[in-house]
A and B are shown apart, each in its own frame.
Chain A
Amino acid sequence: MSIVQRLLAKPWEHAGEMEGIHGGNVVGRPAGRTGLYLFLGVITSLFLLFSISHQMRASYPDWIAVAEPGILWFNTGILLLASISLQLASKAALKTGIGGADRAVRNELLAATLFTLLFIAGQAYAWKLMLDAGLYAAGNPANAFFYMFTAVHAAHLLGGMWFLLKALQTAFTEPDDTALPNRIGLCATYWHFLLLVWALLFYLLLSS
């Protein structure tokens, strides 16, 4: 039933009617995935507002465009690899049937973890390059946005790492856990989303 049809229902009629009516599950997906989608909505709002602020602030005359460190390209590639690894882990976990993690799943999860850590280390190195070049946050709003965007994005990835590490631990200690494929799938979705967010932020940084 579409949302419009639901909202047009006349609940005062049809008392007692139970055929074809809500059976205790309105959305055919696990609650964790619904919760994640909602959270992605929150993050979308957050980064959208950051982006709008960036665009507004960039229009002021004191803005001095900054040449971002080239390592950001490399970091972007690494984050892409983390995302791909998680996608492969998710696919492999689903293939194994009733939950469970085989060798491929564990390897892909391990790879995703390492790639993510490498990405964050790379972002930290980009900070060092900026600081070495004397481009401090207080110096110019363009610098400040660089530090803020990278930090807030990394904080979201680190939050995700908690769940990824838990999935990794389960893959090694309880490989038959039936909830594992779902958890890996959620991590994959979250990583893909943060890759998109990073692409947007990187574009904004490059374009101003």
Chain B
Amino acid sequence: MAYVAIADRDHEQHLHDPQSFVTKYIWSQDHKVIAIQYSLTAISVGLVALVLSLGMRLQLGFPDTFSFITPNEYYQAITMHGMIMVIYLLTALLLGGFGNYLIPLMCGARDMVFPYMNMLSYWVYLLSVLVLLSSFFISGGPTGAGWTLYPPQSVMPGTPGVGGGIVTMLVSLVLFIVAFTMGGLNYVTTVLQARCRGMTMMRMPLAVWGIFTATVLGLLAFPALLVSGIMLLLDALVGTSFFEPALLSMGEESRHTGGSPILFQHLFWFFGHPEVYIVALPAFGVISDLVAVHARKNIFGYRMMVWAILAIGVISFVVWAHHMYVSGMNPYFGFFFATTTLIIAIPTALKVYNWVLTLWRGNIHLTVPMLFVIGFIFTFINGGITGLFLGNVAVDMPLSDSYFIVGHFHMVMGVSPILVIFGSIYHWYPKITGRMMNDRLGRIHFWCTLFGTYAIYLPMHYLGILGLPRRYYAMGDTSFIPDSAQVMNAGISVAALFVALSQIIFLFNLVWSRKHGKPAGSNPWNATTLEWQTPQTPPVHGNWGPDLPVVYRWAYDYSVPGAAQDFIPQTMAPEDVPKAAGTSYDGREGEHS
């Protein structure tokens, strides 16, 4: 059977044309609308998680002051905050939001290859969010088992939300995985098969590489969460003993026999560690593009950046048990996983060096996205180095249950990707809406967020080294913890309130600029990649008008010697490149690299 390449099909631009308001904005199959739906939903549910964290901080900073925060509610807040932030905000926003918006535009496609399935992906995601949030309104409330949902306590009496709470959490996760799989199949297939003419894999922007690799990781790792979720659900509902051991609970023998909680931990972290990179790789990719655009310089070591992304993706599957050093596993396992943890730092460090070397002697424009880029690099180095530190078994053991861990993972997995998300929104907002976000408000937002988050998380490292245990509702009279620790805890809580309030500036800017922002034009940052070369801004349905773009060069032709402008779009043929006066540049040479 003759097969016509997607990019060469006639009338491709008329596929899935919206016919009405409903098909344009609600049951839309347009990747851009779906991206916005994903993003707004993720940000909304993320705000819920932010409020939950404030509840926790009020309790920790000012114990016995707020009677509305009981121990049960504290644990429920911890659990929902963690799960929402990792899964329903970061994963959904970086892949469902950025992936949907950027992949077709950056690859020169009209849409995802399976638009109907893409639409379903969003609606199932929304359903998973609603199921999750419904647990706030059921008897017993949401589960308070901690975001890792470790058995046996997650399904044992005494844990908050042990009835409906844990069930809604697990059902919601299953729905999320179904939604992610539908979206993920789209992202990978679109990258593989719907790129426009001339867009080789190695001409793709690193943002696409990051999202593509993270999606492959997700497709292979989320099944581990699905397996553990299904088995835990059966333990909770049917009384099976996959994970639940025989034990006495509140003076009564449980109905379970001999299950293995460690098996759950292995499954959970076989998903959980790649999940770190499912969030990190898109952030790495996006930051690489932002740093090149705003430093007006080609990314340093493009090929190494691609290889590093792939290497991180592979190695991320063999480091999971460094989350389990304190589980009592065989010490030789600990040695193995400590080694792999150190090894994965190599490609990760390589990326950091390359970002810094891209900045070096670049024409750095301190735009708002660039501020967030620099903030990210600092923060990621902080969080990454403490990660190396904790990768060693002997160091991890005493620190594992302390605030050091909370400080570490919030730096590397919380603040870092959030800074990338903010930077990206400031960067791509002009393409999405046609208007610039307010620059002054953006700068205020950046400095408040950066200093505020450091005021929260740096002291946590110190508290952890003091021995302050995490997960505790109240410290009580603990002789080894000095009174000054409580003062610091109160300070952290004030900083958390400050950071949360400063996000209002961002939200205001997001809404206000939609109508009142300066008109952006089609390419306000003078960027080279395809999304900035669309005939209309914002891009209309089908993205490209009658003809798909043709790509002649890689994504990083900035400050090319001999060229009249400091950027050459990917769509510009060599013969069309304006030459600087008095040069003989022919648009083909690669000596600038």
Interface residues of A in 19-52 (CB under 8 A from B): 21-31, 34-35, 38-39, 41-42, 45-46, 49-50
Q: B552, A18: Cβ atoms under 8 Å?
A: yes
Residue A61 is within 8 A (CB to CB) of chain B in the complex: yes
B193 cross-chain contacts in A, Cβ below 8 A: 25-27, 31, 34
| Interface residue from B196, B201, B257, B592 paired with A24 (Cβ < 8 Å) | B196
Q: B590, A12: Cβ atoms under 8 Å?
A: yes
9-residue interface stretch from A72-80, A136-144, A192-200? A136-144
Q: B220, A42: Cβ atoms under 8 Å?
A: yes
Interface residues of B in 333-382 (CB under 8 A from A): none
Q: A53, B223: Cβ atoms under 8 Å?
A: no
Residue B113 is within 8 A (CB to CB) of chain A in the complex: yes
Residue B188 is within 8 A (CB to CB) of chain A in the complex: yes
Q: A53, B590: Cβ atoms under 8 Å?
A: no
Task: Identify 20 residue pairs between A and B in the complex whose beta-carbon atoms are under 8 Å apart, listed by A's number.
Answer: A7-B310, A11-B203, A11-B554, A12-B298, A12-B302, A16-B588, A21-B198, A23-B8, A24-B197, A25-B193, A31-B113, A31-B189, A39-B185, A42-B223, A45-B220, A46-B227, A62-B246, A137-B240, A138-B238, A181-B1
| Interface residue from A12, A53, A61 paired with B242 (Cβ < 8 Å) | A53
Leading 8 A-B pairs by shortest Cβ distance: A24-B7, A25-B5, A62-B258, A138-B239, A16-B574, A11-B554, A13-B590, A46-B223
| Interface residue from B196, B226, B238, B587 paired with A15 (Cβ < 8 Å) | B587
Q: Please, how many angstroms separate the alpha-carbon atoms of A31 and B114 in the complex?
A: 8
Q: Please, how many angstroms separate the alpha-carbon atoms of A50 and B192 in the complex?
A: 29
B403 cross-chain contacts in A, Cβ below 8 A: none
Q: A15, B574: Cβ atoms under 8 Å?
A: yes
Q: B220, A11: Cβ atoms under 8 Å?
A: no
Interface residues of B in 527-569 (CB under 8 A from A): 548, 550, 552-554, 556-557, 568
Interface string of B1-35 (1 = CB under 8 A from A): 10101111000000000000000000000000000
Residue A103 is within 8 A (CB to CB) of chain B in the complex: no
Residue A148 is within 8 A (CB to CB) of chain B in the complex: yes
Q: A141, B259: Cβ atoms under 8 Å?
A: yes
A166 cross-chain contacts in B, Cβ below 8 A: none
Distance to closest chain B CB from A141 (angstroms): 6
Residue B280 is within 8 A (CB to CB) of chain A in the complex: no
Known: A10-B590, A26-B201, A49-B270. A94 touches B7 (CB 8 A): no
A57 cross-chain contacts in B, Cβ below 8 A: 242, 259-260, 263
B223 cross-chain contacts in A, Cβ below 8 A: 42, 45-46, 49
B258 cross-chain contacts in A, Cβ below 8 A: 60-63, 141
B3 cross-chain contacts in A, Cβ below 8 A: 28-30
Q: B587, A16: Cβ atoms under 8 Å?
A: yes
B501 cross-chain contacts in A, Cβ below 8 A: none
Interface residues of A in 117-141 (CB under 8 A from B): 137-138, 140-141
Known: A11-B203, A26-B201, A38-B188. A144 touches B241 (CB 8 A): yes
Q: A22, B197: Cβ atoms under 8 Å?
A: yes
Q: B242, A34: Cβ atoms under 8 Å?
A: no
Distance to closest chain A CB from B303 (angstroms): 7
Interface string of A3-14 (1 = CB under 8 A from B): 000111111111
Q: Please, how many angstroms separate the alpha-carbon atoms of A138 and B234 in the complex?
A: 9
Q: A24, B263: Cβ atoms under 8 Å?
A: no
Distance to closest chain A CB from B164 (angstroms): 20
Q: B203, A35: Cβ atoms under 8 Å?
A: no
Q: A137, B1: Cβ atoms under 8 Å?
A: no
Q: What is the size, in residues, of chain B's interface with A at 8 Å between Cβ atoms?
A: 74
A6 cross-chain contacts in B, Cβ below 8 A: 200-202
Residue B181 is within 8 A (CB to CB) of chain A in the complex: yes
B255 cross-chain contacts in A, Cβ below 8 A: 138
Residue A152 is within 8 A (CB to CB) of chain B in the complex: yes
Q: B224, A49: Cβ atoms under 8 Å?
A: yes
Q: Please, how many angstroms separate the alpha-carbon atoms of A21 and B551 in the complex?
A: 10
Q: B197, A15: Cβ atoms under 8 Å?
A: no
Residue B472 is within 8 A (CB to CB) of chain A in the complex: no
Q: Please, how many angstroms separate the alpha-carbon atoms of A109 and B278 in the complex?
A: 40
Q: B220, A50: Cβ atoms under 8 Å?
A: no
| Interface residue from B200, B224, B230, B238 paired with A21 (Cβ < 8 Å) | B200
Q: Please, how many angstroms separate the alpha-carbon atoms of A8 and B589 in the complex?
A: 18
Residue B194 is within 8 A (CB to CB) of chain A in the complex: yes
B186 cross-chain contacts in A, Cβ below 8 A: 35
Across the two chains, which residue of chain B brings its CB closest to A29?
A: B3
Q: Please, how many angstroms separate the alpha-carbon atoms of A172 and B369 in the complex?
A: 57
Q: Please, how many angstroms separate the alpha-carbon atoms of A152 and B227 in the complex?
A: 10
Residue A107 is within 8 A (CB to CB) of chain B in the complex: no
Q: Please, how many angstroms separate the alpha-carbon atoms of A1 and B408 in the complex?
A: 43
A7 cross-chain contacts in B, Cβ below 8 A: 201-202, 303, 306-307, 310
Residue A182 is within 8 A (CB to CB) of chain B in the complex: yes
Interface string of A134-171 (1 = CB under 8 A from B): 00011011001000100010000000000000000000
| Interface residue from A18, A53, A144, A152 paired with B263 (Cβ < 8 Å) | A53
Across the two chains, which residue of chain B brings its CB closest to A46?
A: B223
Distance to closest chain A CB from B311 (angstroms): 11
Known: A11-B200, A11-B554, A15-B552. A53 touches B113 (CB 8 A): no
Residue B267 is within 8 A (CB to CB) of chain A in the complex: yes
B310 cross-chain contacts in A, Cβ below 8 A: 7
Q: B257, A62: Cβ atoms under 8 Å?
A: yes
| Interface residue from B548, B590, B592 paired with A14 (Cβ < 8 Å) | B590
| Interface residue from B198, B242, B306 paired with A141 (Cβ < 8 Å) | B242
Across the two chains, which residue of chain A brings its CB closest to B255?
A: A138
